[in-house]
Amino acid sequence: MAPATARAQAAASPEPTAVSASQRLVEVRFALSSSAAKQLSEPRLRRLLEIELGDEAVLAPAPMGPLGDHVAYVWVDLAEPSTVAIEVRVGARTVEHREIADAELTGDIAVRVIAIAAAEMVRAQMRPLRPPKKPPAPKPPSPEAIEAASRRTDALMWTPQLTAAFVPSVGATMFGPSADIGFRRFGTSAHLFASWLTGPTDFGSARWFEVGLAGEYRAWVSPSWRFAGELSASAAAVRVTDATVVGEPGNGLDTWSARAGGSVAVEWRVREPVWLTLGVGPSAVLRSFDVVTSPSGARSSFEGVFVGASLGVLFEERAPVHVKALQTSGVQP
C-alpha cells in the first residue's frame, strides 16, 4: 500500500512552477573589513540587514559564491576611525558608495543605522534600469532650408546679354552683344566679361570692343527674385569713322580706352537654372581721347560718364546641397 499511496500523492501534487529570471530573488553577499569587524558585531549586523531586506532579497551565508546578475555585494569598512563606508553593487551595475559618520553613534545604534543604509542602497540598485531615451531621428530639412543653403554653395554662371551704352560727352549711343562667365563662392561671385558695341556719335560712328573683370554680390528677396550689385573695370579697343583720333600714331582710326564703375541688376528666375536679368549702372572713362571730325574739323573729347544697360539670360549651375549636413546642424527656415 505504501508505494501505491506514494504514487497517488505524487500524481495529485501539482508540478513546481518555473521561476522567471525577472522574479528571482537577489542574493546579498555581505562582508566586513577587518577594521570594521573589530568595532561592529557582524552577527548582529547580518541579522538586522536580513530584517531590513525582508522578502525583497535573501542574505547569503557567505560573502563568496558564483557570479550572476541577481547577486548583490555589500561591503562595510571604516574609512576613518569615526566614519563607516558602505559600498553596494548589484549585478553589473556601477558601485554605489556612501559614508556615515558614526562619532555620535555607539553600540547597537550604529549597527542599526548601517543595516538600514545598506538595505536602502540594495533596494535602490535592485530597481529596473530605464532604457536610455533614443534620440529622435533628425527631421529632413524643408524645401525652404535647402533653397536657402543652395544660395551659399558654389555655382558656375554664364550670361549672354544685349547691351546698350550711352556717352553724353560725344552723344554716343552704342548697342551690341556681350557675354560673361563667372564663379560664385560664399555668396560672392567674380566673372570675366566681353562686349562688342557699335553706334553713332557726334563725330560719326564708333566701335567699342572691351574685356573686363567684375565682382558681384546678390541679395535675395525671395527664391525667385534677387538683386545683384556689381563693381567692374575694363579695357577697350576703339575704332572711329569719319574722324581722326588726335595724337595716335598709325591710321588715326584706332585707339584704346578704359572705364571703371558699378551697376545694379534685378534678376527673376524663369525656371531652374535660368534667370532673366536687367541691369543698369554708370562708370567713368579712365582714358579719354580726342577726335577731329572730317571734313569740318570739329574736335570732340570722349570722356566723362559711360552709362550702360543690359538685358540678358543667366544660366546658373549650383553645386548640390549636402542634406545630411543640414540635418546635423539643425538648419530650418
pLDDT digits (tens, 9 = 90+) for 121-138: 888 888 877 777 887 777
Q: What is the pLDDT of residue 136?
A: 78
- Residue 67: pLDDT band by 50, 70, 90 thresholds? low
User: For 24-126, CATH number?
Assistant: 3.30.360
* Average pLDDT for the chain: 83
Per-residue pLDDT of 93-123, as tens digits, reads 888 888 887 655 667 788 888 888 888 888 8
Hey, which residues does 283 pair with through a beta bridge?
261, 306
94: its cell numbers: 556601477
Q: What is the pLDDT of residue 209?
A: 97
- Residue 322: pLDDT band by 50, 70, 90 thresholds? confident
Per-residue pLDDT of 276-300, as tens digits, reads 999 999 999 999 999 998 777 788 9
- Region of residue 327 (left: phi > 0; alpha: psi -120 to 50; beta: else): alpha
Q: Is the pLDDT of residue 303 over 90?
A: yes
Q: Is the pLDDT of residue 6 over 90?
A: no
Domains 24-126 and 143-329 share a fold: no
Q: Is the pLDDT of residue 10 over 50?
A: no
Under DSSP, is residue 171 helix (H, G, I), strand (E, B) or coil? coil
- Residue 20: pLDDT band by 50, 70, 90 thresholds? very low
Q: What is the pLDDT of residue 327?
A: 63
Highest mean pLDDT range out of 211-220, 244-253, 296-305? 211-220
Q: Mean of the pLDDT values across residues 8-13?
A: 41
Q: Mean of the pLDDT values across residues 165-190?
A: 93
User: For 143-329, CATH number?
Assistant: 2.40.160.20
Q: Is the pLDDT of residue 64 over 80?
A: no
Q: Is the pLDDT of residue 268 over 80?
A: yes
- Residue 34: pLDDT band by 50, 70, 90 thresholds? confident
Spatial separation of the C-alpha atoms in residues 154 and 144, rounded to whole Å: 18
Do the bridges between strand 274-285 and strand 305-318 make them parallel or antiparallel, or are there none, so unpaired?
Answer: antiparallel
161: its cell numbers: 546679354
Q: What is the pTM of this model?
A: 0.57
Share of the chain above pLDDT 70, in %: 86
Q: Mean of the pLDDT values across residues 206-235?
A: 94
Q: Where are the domains of the chain?
A: 24-126, 143-329
Q: How many CB atoms lie within 10 A of CB 181?
A: 13
Q: What is the pLDDT of residue 130?
A: 76
Which one-letter amino acid corresponds to residue 126?
Answer: M
Q: Is the pLDDT of residue 4 over 70?
A: no
Under DSSP, is residue 210 helix (H, G, I), strand (E, B) or coil? strand
Q: Is the pLDDT of residue 14 over 50?
A: no
